[in-house]
Structure 1
Amino acid sequence: MASTSAYTQWASLPDDEITTNYVETTLSAVPDDLWVAAAACLDRAVNNTEVQESLLKLGISRTERVIQRCQDTLASEETEAPDTIHNSLVEYFVNSPIDARLCNIRSILLQRLDRLNTYVEMEKSALESGDTGVEDDVDEWEDDPWADGTAGSSTSTTDTRTKSSPQLPVSLSSFLLGDIVRLACELASLEAFSALHILFKRHGPVLWPFRFVILENIPEHIHPSLYNFLLPSYSPATNSEPTMISEPWRMQPDFVEARQCQSALQESNLALDQVHTVDGVGYEAHHLLLSDDELSTWYKNRVNRVIHSSGMIDIALAIVQHGASQGIPGLDELGEELSLLSRLVYDAPQADEMDDDWTLARWYSLEPLAVVHAYLAHSTPGSLAEDISRLVMPYLYVLEARAERAGSPDPSLPTRILYEYILSAPLEKAAVIFEASKPTLPPAQRLIRDDEDIARLALACLYGSDSLDEWSTMSRIFECLPAWDISRDDDNDEDVADTTVASLGTFVKPSIMHPCSTPSELLILFKPLSLSSLSRALDILDVHLESGEIFSRWSVPAPLRWFLQSNGDINEQRSWANRMARRAGGQQDQLNTQEDWEWLLEDMLKLTGKGDNGLKGAFGLLSRDEVTRIFLSGLLSTGKFDIAKAILRSPRNKIDLDANTIEDICISCFHELYDNASSGNYKIGDMKLAYDCLDIPRSSNRLVKEKQFVEATSRISSFNVQSRPGIPISPIEIRLTKDRLSLISRVLSSNNDAYKHTEVILDLSYKLGFAEDVVAEVKVLAMLADTALQAEDFERAYENSERMVDIVFKLRASSELDADDPRIHEVTEVCWIACFQLGRQPEFEELGKRMLLLGRALELCPAEKLHDVLTAWQRLENEDIQNREERMTHRRSGTAAVSSPRKLVDSSLPINVASTLRARLQDFHMPSPPLLSTPDAAALASRTFKSVAANFPFGHRGRSQLSETDDTGSHRSTSTRRTEGEDVSAHATRVLSKGIGWLIGADEE
């Protein structure tokens, strides 16, 4: 009853109410060993270490008698053979299952007691070091106003643990019942290394096969010094991993823990107690010791995993350093690489936001030059020299040492890679390196210690650069170069200089296969140069730098290699001089005064001369006169004519050019401005600049003609002449027109009233370049007359025809011209056709003027055209006779004559014209035969006129159809005449021509 009551009370008692006093008084009094050991001690696992210890000790003490019985049984066998002992135990356990169960319980309780002692030690260690693996909970307020008043008052009087003891990341009950390997992995992941160390020390034999599993649970970012007790080491004696030394709680195992007893218990086929997981189930175990190669591989894999997961190179390096300190082979080179990589990641300057993901694979893939670039990628000019000394040079020396260890020593490797970096670095960084290598510095402080190497590197860097705006940096580099005191022969020096410049120019000249020379390629060219040639190359560099600064000053920078390329190319120099004169002038905020332009001229002239070292400047192939002409052209192209006049007329005039040359330059600039003008109005835009440009030199006939042509262009534009429908004619079209008289025709065609302004049109022709051209004047008058005729303005047409006739007769009467002069024939042809065209128009009611015009046509036309003119004359004569008869009839009848709308021929035809006509007719013996009255004669005259005047297309406005007068004075339509059969018309023409030919004395076939 007592035991039943105690069991019931024990089963209903909560874990937190169990006290050591209850264990010592109540449980100890229960006589049933199995119940106490199994129900009370084995089935209960509390979190109070003192209570748990009392339970475990009580349970173990209740199993002491069964151990004695087992030993007595074995003693009765009187044998020490293992098999006999094993069989005896199996038989005993089968016959005494309670004792077998007690033995099993004892082994479990002993393990729990060991774990309890370990847990207590872990707590003590955590209290001393503060390492619990978890963050300490924030202390609650003692007077928390939100508390319910029960939490603080429910403290068990049986809980004797110190409240200040820090809690481990695992509870005592879990620690006692859990898989110890899993517990170790949990402590490793929670970084509770002090507890983990104690766990390995006390339970090493169990945990050691799973050491690598536990290591994998340690976060990769943790420094290895915190868990170095767990990292594998190396034993040179065995050339493998040594066995871990542990300190178990019990040096001698208990009877029930012996192998024979445990084996007997397993073979007794009894249902034994298993209240916790078998240690290590589900984890990969490594019972064998790792060899040296396996250890090296493990460390390398660990390093790769650390870098891949966390990117912490310093942690990886610390792991390798620990392995190397343990003597593990094959880690020295890895440690060396990680040390260099660590310098790159942690010691080298970095960007504000580091986005580089460095891994060993990436590091191994880099060439040495790429590594140097990575070291110095974010170095500033102020830190570059120091970064090279503390980061780059140690790396290069490591490479040299490796090459030597590999059996292929390369003493030049550090300098070679450093030179490659300098050649590929920006000029600003290169300048810093050259400044840290000045010959004036102590050798130990110089990055580059060879003076000739400095010179070659500088030449290669500068001539291989494409920079256009770093002239101050280039000058800094030049100032760092050595100056050798070398005696030279002048002639030989000049030859060496020319040869050096020529060879450099050929080398850097771009081609399709080799568009640009790199600094590395140029260094190859400079390497074989002797000290003397190298010094001369520096003299050349000095001249080129000065020229480059001048170019940059005037906004026409060129890469330094251009000065080599253009050294023997006069066209390239001329092109750049033009660019300099024009682009510098285009900087409106730069050249606004006479002094500025004079300064530009001084610099341009300076580039044509030779320096003290006998080397030519950038324009050395151009003469001073040519450069001055280029300068003046550039000045004029900007339109700053006031400055140009001031310079040309200044007492200190630096433009040493004759008047004709200045005039040529001004006219050339005028043509450029004229051709670029978008409007012909010479009051605005480029046309105004072109017009004003002609006022710069002293006036001359040539300049006056050009100005008149500008005025003519402006006037043509004012008449809205179009090149295509809707598009006004441009100035350049006007200037490129070969037959400028056609421009007059286009003016007359494009404006209905233009023909009325005879003097304006004539003045326009004069300004177009025909001021003293009589032929052109006659043609213009003919165009005016034809345009007036088209507009049926017969009076103006007559006036222009009379004016044309006067000019022709004066020209024919001139003693200065020969009668066979082609100009006389040309103006005569134009004149008689114009007179004939107007004289034969029936709508022109001034009969006298028409007869006068036809008379002029008869007088001027060639003999083969007389029959055409006489036909028209016959019609007018018949009309005149009819008018006379009508007047006489009215006079005889006494009736007042009605005024005829047409004037009589004798009242309008001048005596000289009539006598001339009479004389020509008498010479030809022509009494005006009726045969000449054919209407086709007028058409023939019209075609003849058009063929002669083909060079000046008249306007085609006015009447759409003209009428002609037949022999009786009546009118017939020309369209009717055109509908006659071709055979009749052709036959009449042949008969008429044959008759006229006979009349004028032509040879008859």
Structure 2
Amino acid sequence: MASSSCTLWLALSDSELTVDDVGEHLGSVTDDLWVAAACYDRIVDDVSVQQALLNVGLDRTKQAFHRAQDALSHLSSSPSSESLDTTAVSLKQSDSCRLDPAVAYFHNLPGDAQLCRLHGLLLRRLDRLNTFTEMCQVAPEEGGDDADDEITEWEDDPWADQSTAMVSHDSSKSPQFPVSLSYFITQELIHTACQLTLHQYFRCLHILLERHRSVLWVHRFVIYDSIPGFANPLEYLEFLPRVKFDENMEEEAPWKDKDIGDASYVPLFEAATTSLGIPKEIESSALSLQTCNNLMTSEELSGWYTNRVDNIISSTGMIDTALAVIQHGASQGVPGLDELGEELSLLTRLVYDAPAGDSPNDWTLSSWKSMDSRTVIRAYLSHSTPETVAADMLHLVMPYLYVLESRAERAGNPNSQIYKDLLYDYVLTASLDVVAAIFEGSKPTMPSSQRIIKDDEDMARLALACLYGSASIDEWPTMSRIFECLPAWDLSKYEDLDGDIADTTIASLGDFVTPTIARPRCTASDLLMFFKPLPLSSLSRALDILDVHLESGEILSRWSVAASLSWFLQSMNDEAEQKAWANRMARRAGSADQLSTREDWEWLLKDMIKLSRRGNSDLRGAFGLLSQEEVTRTFFNGLLISGKFDIAKALLQSNRNISVLDTTAIEDICLTCVREFYDNASSGNYKVGDMKLAYECLDVPHISERIRKEKEFIEATSRLSSFNVMSRPGIPITPIEIRLTKDRLSLVSRVLSSNADAYKHTEVILELVAMLGFRGDVTAEVKTLAMLADTALQNEDFTRAYQASERMVNTVLVLRSSNANASKMQEASEVCWVACFQLGRQPEFDDVEKKLSLLGRSLELCPPEQLHDVLTAWRRLEKEDIERRETRLSQRRRAGGAALPRKRTPAADHHEFSLRSRLADFHMPSPPLLSTPDAAALASRTFKTVAARFPFSRGRPRSHPDDETSRSGSRPRDGDDVSSQATRVFSKGIGWLLGAGEEDL
């Protein structure tokens, strides 16, 4: 029966074993050692089955254990010498045994030794089973509270399978443990402790540590290091090490071994094990783990806490968890953690309290420690908005600054300026909207404890530096907000108020803020050093100046010519800069179509005058160096440049501010604008574009001689453009080129040379000359007639050439009979005699009477040194005329007719009289003198000298006089070389004499 039970027992697997099987199969076996060994050999995960096995095994081994206890108790109470000697002799037989009565006893009874050893092993396993059972009672349900919440949240999930949901819900309520019973019984306790720690079963860990302190104490730091970094510190703070205050050493943990029952088995168990020759059990797998048998010093504990914090932050980034650990260590007396706690507390504010951006930074303790104070402040406020920056300063930055001050005091280097230096440095580099928010959180009306900037004078200095150091030109409402937060001091009780210091400082700032190569831009921090030395009275004066500049800045911004506040510093003593900006204001406002009505322009004028006047004090605006008249002139100029001529006329009639300008000033302004329109015009046609504006602008003032002349000049420009005058081949002449032409008569020469029929319209050309600015200028008229005659001559239109010459002569004669200027008279006479001489000696002109008349005018008007040359030509022409007449007379006589006497014309009589008078005036011999060869040669040489003075002008090419016969039928003789050369020279025109350049002729 016993053998069958043993066989059935061995056939059962651990998973099939039940409590009934234990009693049924082992109860019938009489061999206690076999039963005890069978109970020890079986390790199952079922608590009840394992309990039954241990109970059966202990029941079979307790008799032997009690026998050994009784025997050893009796032996120790009355030992006999004989028994001791016998025991000693028996012990000698085994070198491995000690002189121990228990060992000797088990040596003689190996069966009882086996049973006692099994009894001890079963008791130790029972102790672990009880520990396991107790831990299971406090173990959380499956998944913990978080899992329950998750399941509850998804209980009404319509897509979830109902059966699956129910199973999950039921299983979540069953106890769950990270290790099985078999694992817990067979493995070292340190592994189980680490498993419980990793799974955050801290209540179970507490039971394990209390029941097995002696085994786990040396591995306590292994257990501590196994706690996850993300675990809630409140659940495990009781396990962390602490300092024993009076000894400056680690305090032992308050764990204690519970009474597990009969403790007498331990010496008997060890004696039985020794007697059987079984080596002592060593937890070999735990040898590689860190052990700490001795208590740590406080410095070592401080290092452990620091490393613990670094690991938590580096692995999880949960700085609040690390802070809780440090705070606990500091509360437990661990030294050196206060400063680290401060750092973590400040870092916690940065990570959890500061506004976060779209991509938050992964802050670590090392990165925090690497930042300087200014970087920390900017990190705190990097994502603050103008709406939140004041609150963030109070709750984040100011506590940080206080910590820095306290650290400096603890280090023995108190520095009350830390707060101001760091705070002011941020304010000086912040944007204006942020600065405005900070100033609104620092108003003097607020309690000092609630203010960010607590010093009123520092507020004024910071405001001056920030505003004048800003390059913004469109944040005037924000700047006004800053100014409205500044303190207003009652200076009536202060003596020796001196505003000169502020004025001097502001004036010196003008040069300082001017950009240079070394310093392209002046920052607010640079400006602060100028305002730091200013006393209260000077600060108040500087704020008054700032107020004026802000008002001026708003006005300039309103009219689209905004300037930064630094510009007001630069232009305070620069009249030219103020005038340029006023001109820019008047012009840009009109060009931007901001001003469409008369009322708008009047508003602009009032603002410009306001900028030039002084207010209630002696402070000046943006145009303070300009007079009202100069500002009004600038305004009126901008009004005209914008082309609003109707509004300009209306303002001249009604606006009293314009009345400061007299008629001459208005004319000057109009003419200036007209010339600007004119110079910018791309076309000379005064019906379109800028030229039209220039012409219409002349209707604004009352008509005057200057206005009339300018109108005529514009009309002349338009006419010149209609003649298609070119400045270069293919490029029409522009209005600016016409204005810049020094000799405007050369423009007429271009018209005549570029238009074949222009010379035929004498009155048109003369009117053009008059409109070019030569109205009433006889000399210009003579030169123009000379050009017309020359052009007609080039075109072989001898009739118009003679008419122009005759009109020119009459004009010169009238001029000579008047009291005209001698130089002008001489210039007109010079042009006239040359033109007459040119036409009078022209071979192709066959009207001898007219030619003699022209040469006679040349003799009358030419200078004495040219008289011989002109007279030679006249005599030659007269001789040719006589020969031609004689030929005709002989022909008539042969035909039988009587020759009629030659009639003298009045013109001939006049020429002869003039010639004789000229010869008499210069005491020259009569004309026959020139008939001698010597005289003819002298005249020839003289004429060559005169001819050399006239350059060649454009005209059709002439044939050489030697290659053709003159119209009189005779070829040139010995003096004709001079005549033919003069013909070629004069046929080139007289442009040089009129002032035209050689390239224009």
CA shift in 2, pair 1:137/1:450, >3 Å:
closer
TM-score by length of 1: 0.79
Q: Following the alignment from structure 1 to structure 2, what is the Cα–Cα distance between the partners of residues 877 and 487?
A: 108
Task: State the secondary structure of the residue aligned to 1:335.
Answer: helix
> Does the alignment pair 1:690 with 2:694?
yes
1:245-394 alignment runs, 5 A limit: 245-247=255-257, 250=260, 252=263, 254-255=265-266, 278-280=284-286, 282-348=288-354, 350-351=355-356, 353=358, 355-394=360-399
Question: Of 808, 814, 819, which residue of structure 2 is paired with 1:816?
Answer: 819
Change (3 A) 1:917 1:165: same
639, 643, 662: which one aligns with 1:639:
643
* TM-superposed deviation, 1:506: 0.6
**Structure-2 separation of matches of 1:922 and 1:54:** 176
Query: Which residue number corresponds to residue 51 of structure 1?
Result: 49
Q: State which of 218, 236, 244 in structure 2 corresponds to 1:235.
A: 244
Separation of aligned partners in 2, 1:724 and 1:497: 64
Deviates more, 1:425-434 or 1:712-721: 425-434
Aligned CA distance change for structure 1 residues 793 and 24 (closer, same or farther; 3 Å)? farther
Please point out which of 740, 743, 754 is paired with 1:739: 743
Task: Answer yes or no: is 1:678 the counterpart of 2:687.
Answer: no
Check if 1:193 corresponds to 2:202: yes
CA distance 1:866–1:262, change in 2 (3 Å): farther
* Amino acid corresponding to residue 689 of structure 1 in structure 2: L
Correspondence for 1:663 among 663, 667, 671: 667
1:815 maps to a residue whose letter is S
Partner of 2:831: 830
Is the 1:221–1:310 Cα contact (8 Å) retained in structure 2? yes
Which SS does the other structure have where 1:655 is aligned?
A: helix
| TM-fit CA distance, 1:536 | 3.6
Change (3 A) 1:817 1:462: closer
Pick closer, same or farther for the CA change 1:387–1:884 going to 2, 3 Å: same
Deviation at 1:606?
A: 2.7
Q: CA offset at residue 362 of structure 1? A: 3.6
**1:219 counterpart = 2:225:** no
Q: Calculate percent identity across the aligned residue pairs.
A: 53
Name whichever of 683-692 and 476-485 sits farther off.
476-485
1:164-217 C-alpha deviation (Å, 9 max, x unpaired)? 523223444444455554444444333333344444344444444444444444
Q: In the aligned structure 2, how far is the partner of 1:346 from the partner of 1:619?
A: 53
Query: Given the superposition, is the C-alpha separation of residues 708 and 19 from structure 1 closer, same or farther in structure 2, using an over 3 Å criterion?
Result: same
Unaligned runs of 5+ in 2: 76-82, 982-1001
SS at match of 1:649: helix
Q: Is contact 2:846–2:967 with CA below 8 Å preserved after alignment?
A: no
Are positions 1:613 and 2:617 aligned together?
yes
Q: Residue 817 of structure 1: CA displacement?
A: 3.2
Higher mean alpha-carbon deviation, 68-77 vs 11-20, is at: 68-77
Rate the CA distance shift 1:255–1:811 in 2: closer, same or farther, 3 A: same
Aligned to 1:126: 139
Cα pair distance change 1:324/1:258, threshold 3 Å: farther
For the residues of structure 1 that align with 2:187 and 2:147, how far apart are their CA atoms?
19
Is the Cα–Cα contact under 8 Å of residues 132 and 168 in structure 1 kept in the other structure? no
Letter in 2 for 1:827: A
Shift of 1:584: 3.1
Q: Aligned match of 1:721 in 697, 722, 725?
A: 725
1:545 to 531, 550, 563: 550
In the TM superposition, residue 846 of structure 1 has moved relative to its aligned partner by: 5.5
For the structure 1 residues 235 and 132, does the alpha-carbon distance in structure 2 shift closer, same or farther, using more than 3 Å as the test?
Answer: farther
Spell out, residue by residue over 1:926-984, the C-alpha distance to the aligned partner (whole angstroms, 9 max, x if none): 455679999x979976x95684579xxx5x3x534533256964999x9xx9xxxxxxx
Q: Which deviates the most, 833-842 or 103-112?
A: 103-112
* Segment of structure 1 superposing worse, 27-36 or 310-319: 27-36
622-631 vs 417-426, which moves further: 417-426
Q: Which amino acid aligns with 2:826?
A: H
Contact preservation (8 Å) 1:550, 1:603: yes
Amino acid at match of 2:928: H
Residue 627 (structure 2) pairs with residue 623 (structure 1): yes
Question: Could you say if the C-alpha distance between residues 856 and 360 of structure 1 is closer, same or farther in structure 2, counting changes exceeding 3 Å?
Answer: same
SS in 2 for 1:723: strand
Q: CA distance change for structure 1 residues 635 and 22 in 2, over 3 Å: closer, same or farther?
A: same
Residues 589-642 of structure 1 show CA distances to partners (whole Å, capped at 9, x for unaligned) of: 2x2222222222223323333333333333333222222222222222222222
- Measured in 2, the distance between the counterparts of 1:367 and 1:333 equals 16
1:880/1:905 contact within 8 Å kept: no
Displacement of 1:872: 5.8
Change (3 A) 1:791 1:171: farther
Query: What displacement does 1:330 show?
Result: 0.9
SS of the residue aligned with 1:167?
coil
Could you tell me how far 1:673 is from its partner in structure 2? Answer: 2.5
Q: Which runs of 5+ in 1 are unaligned?
A: 154-160, 897-903, 978-984, 990-1005
Paired position in structure 2 for 1:923:
926
Residue correspondence of structure 1 range 511-590 to structure 2 within 5 A: 512=516, 518-520=523-525, 522-589=527-594
- Could you tell me which of 497, 509, 512 is aligned with 2:511? 509
TM-score (norm 2): 0.80
- Number of the residue aligned with 1:156: none
Give the direction of change, closer, same or farther, for the CA distance of 1:24–1:138 in structure 2 (3 Å limit): farther
* CA positional deviation for 1:291: 1.7
C-alpha distance in structure 2 between counterparts of 1:797 and 1:168, whole Å: 132
Q: Which amino acid aligns with 2:835?
A: A
- Distance across 1 between alignment mates of 2:753 and 2:214: 120
Cα root mean square deviation, aligned? 5.0
Using a 3 Å threshold, how does the CA distance of structure 1 residues 261 and 227 change in structure 2: closer, same or farther?
farther
- Give distance in 2, aligned partners of 1:211 and 1:905: 156
Aligned to 1:157: none
Q: 1:880, CA displacement in angstroms?
A: 5.1
1:17 aligns with 2:16: yes
Judged with a 3 Å threshold, the aligned counterparts in structure 2 of structure 1 residues 485 and 918 are, in CA distance, closer, same or farther, namely closer
Range moving further from structure 2, 284-293 or 837-846: 837-846
Residues 241 and 295, structure 1, Cα contact 8 Å, conserved in 2? yes
* 1:220/1:305 contact within 8 Å kept: yes
Provide, for residues 316-349 of structure 1, a one-character-per-residue CA deviation record: whole Å limited to 9, x for no partner. 211111111211111112212222332333334x
What amino acid does structure 1 have at the position aligned with 2:17?
A: I
Q: Deviations over 1:541-571 (max 9, x none)?
A: 4433333333333333333344444433333
**Deviation digits for residues 424-471 of structure 1 (CA, Å, limit 9, x no counterpart):** 444444444444444444555555555444444444444444443343
* TM-aligned CA distance change 1:408 to 1:793, over 3 Å: same
How far apart are the structure 2 equivalents of 1:137 and 1:710? 92
Q: Give the equivalent residue in structure 2 for 1:959.
A: 956
Does the 8 Å contact 2:502/2:534 carry over to 1? no
Q: Which amino acid in structure 2 is aligned with residue 358 of structure 1? A: W
Question: Take 2:523 and 2:303, find their aligned partners in 1: how far apart are those partners?
Answer: 44
- Map 1:868-947 to 2 at 5 A: 887=888, 891=892, 912-913=910-911, 923-928=926-931, 947=949
CA contact (8 A) 1:3 1:31 kept: no
